[in-house]
Amino acid sequence: MKHTCLFILLFTVLGSRSQNHRFYYTDVDFTEKQADTLYGKIESMLIMGMGSSLERIFLNNLSDKLIEDLSSKKIAATYVYIGKSAEEAKKNYTSTNMNNYDAILFFHPTDTNRFDIQLIKSRIYIPLPTTPIGVVQPSRKRDTYEQSFDILLYKRADNVELKIWTASVDIDCEPGKKNGANKLATRILERFTANRYVE
């Protein structure tokens, strides 16, 4: 009976720990570089992004969260992916209709992306019948996605784009998971609120 209870405890602990790995191994290193607060509240925003397939997945998750958060503040927002290469992005950027937006938020990857697989080991201490403390070292593989983005916010007036805010971010997260994108969206909205771009 003691052994049965021990195994149940062990699997419960391991299961809860493994579910939390994705949160523990998400790193968002965010730096605000420029903030001009003279241009008032944003009413509508066009979110634009470019990059490889991995960047596209990440930016789709990020834009979904940004649009949801902006909508809760009564700000209309739309996301447009403009291409993999600089040439494709430039062509699609110039052909995009921006007349319905008074701000453009642009995500530019710095081409430092890396996709890798890491072996994660974690220590879990549980009491065992034969010793006061037993050590279990489970391990698993984790896919990692690392990328740096420059983030630029332009305010539009009279068909002119004026850069009013810039930031940079280094991301380390699991590809396809939304936690890194959600964390970055939260940081961006915090700074937009602090700078009075949104209320």
pLDDT digit string, tens, across residues 143-186? 777 889 999 999 988 778 899 999 999 988 887 788 899 999 99
pLDDT of 18 over the 90 cut:
no
> pTM here?
0.73
DSSP string, 62-104: HHHHHHHHHHHTT-EEEEEE--SSHHHHHHHHHHS--TT-SEE
Query: Which one of 3.30.2390, 3.10.450, 3.90.1720, 3.40.50 gives the CATH number of domain 2-194?
Result: 3.40.50
Say what the pLDDT of residue 21 is. Answer: 40
Q: What is the mean pLDDT of the chain?
A: 78
Say what the pLDDT of residue 142 is. Answer: 60
Which pair of tokens denotes residue 142?
């984790």
Average pLDDT of the residues in 49-60: 91
Check residue 41 and give left, alpha or beta (phi > 0: left; psi -120 to 50: alpha). beta
Which pair of tokens denotes residue 22?
């994705």
Say what the pLDDT of residue 71 is. Answer: 95
List pLDDT tens digits, range 92-107: 998 998 989 999 999 9
